[in-house]
């Protein structure tokens, strides 16, 4: 080998590309397989619709406006945070944010980046609810002003559908119907809202039936849940005081 050839070979070996692997967000684990989830865990027995409804009411929206949002989320995903669009489409999560867009790519506006910054899982219901509120309050184009101006279930549902979901085939009738059901089930006028009464909930953590509004830290995911009308909801989304606090 000539001296010139050796130099070329050395240069080539030193300039080969190296893959740089960024550290993963340790909280961003793959969504759980429902078949492996303990059937009595607080998460498995939770009511995501009510958690979402309570969440937006605690943010200052009216019950009508909160119901309009949740009616849309039921249409999109049944409020299942691990939802993947049917047929392998790009939609992910409760609002069906698109892969290649608001799920993982849009500049300063995607679930993945947001969850990494917060150190939480992008597949968690609480993360996705927080991200919806982040988008609504950070980007005027997503229609928070229109939503806050809404005084009926229909107008609230349509405002969120048109400005936030920006869907193609939207099924407005279905979304409004779901929103009306949410308001009837969880609004204070429908007897399904928070309060001191209501049914109890079974806690897999404590292996016993708990009274309404009991607050339990789950041994399955270490998150806090509150018993609200027979279902577990995220503790921080329920404005009602705890009727007993049970930490791990």
- Assign residue 89 the CATH number of its domain: 1.10.530.10
What are the φ and ψ backbone dihedral angles of 227, each rounded to 5 degrees? Answer: -80, 120
Mean pLDDT of the chain: 84
Count: domains in the chain: 2
Together in a domain, 73 and 173: yes
pTM for the whole structure: 0.75
Together in a domain, 104 and 177: yes
Together in a domain, 73 and 125: yes
pLDDT higher at 123 or 19:
123
pLDDT of 237 strictly over 80: no
Together in a domain, 173 and 227: no
Q: In the structure, what pLDDT confidence band is assigned to residue 34 with cuts at 50, 70 and 90?
A: very low
Q: Considering the domain boundaries, does residue 27 fall inside one?
A: no
Confidence at residue 141, expressed as pLDDT on a 0 to 100 scale: 97
pLDDT of 1 strictly over 70: no
pLDDT of 16 strictly over 80: no
């Amino acid at each position: 080998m000539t001296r010139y050839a050796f130099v070329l070979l050395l240069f080539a070996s030193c300039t080969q590309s190296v893959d740089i692997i960024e550290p993963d967000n340790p909280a961003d684990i793959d969504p759980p397989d429902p078949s492996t989830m303990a059937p009595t865990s607080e998460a498995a027995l939770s009511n995501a619709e009510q958690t979402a409804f309570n969440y937006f009411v605690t943010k200052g929206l009216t019950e009508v406006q909160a119901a309009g949002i949740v009616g849309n989320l039921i249409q999109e995903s049944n409020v299942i945070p691990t939802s993947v669009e049917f047929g392998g489409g790009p939609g992910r999560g409760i609002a069906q944010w698109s892969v290649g867009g608001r799920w993982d790519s849009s500049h300063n506006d995607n679930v993945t980046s947001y969850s990494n910054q917060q150190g939480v899982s992008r597949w968690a219901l609480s993360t996705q609810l927080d991200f919806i509120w982040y988008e609504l309050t950070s980007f005027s184009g997503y229609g928070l002003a229109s939503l806050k101006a809404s005084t009926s279930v229909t107008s609230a549902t349509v405002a969120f559908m048109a400005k936030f979901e920006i869907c193609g085939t939207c099924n407005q009738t279905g979304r409004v119907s779901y929103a009306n059901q949410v308001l009837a089930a969880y609004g204070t006028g429908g007897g399904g809202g928070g309060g001191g009464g209501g049914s109890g909930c079974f806690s897999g953590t404590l292996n016993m039936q708990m009274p309404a509004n009991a607050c339990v830290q789950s041994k399955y995911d270490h998150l806090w849940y509150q018993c609200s009308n027979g279902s577990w909801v995220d503790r921080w989304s329920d404005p009602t005081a705890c009727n007993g606090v049970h930490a791990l």
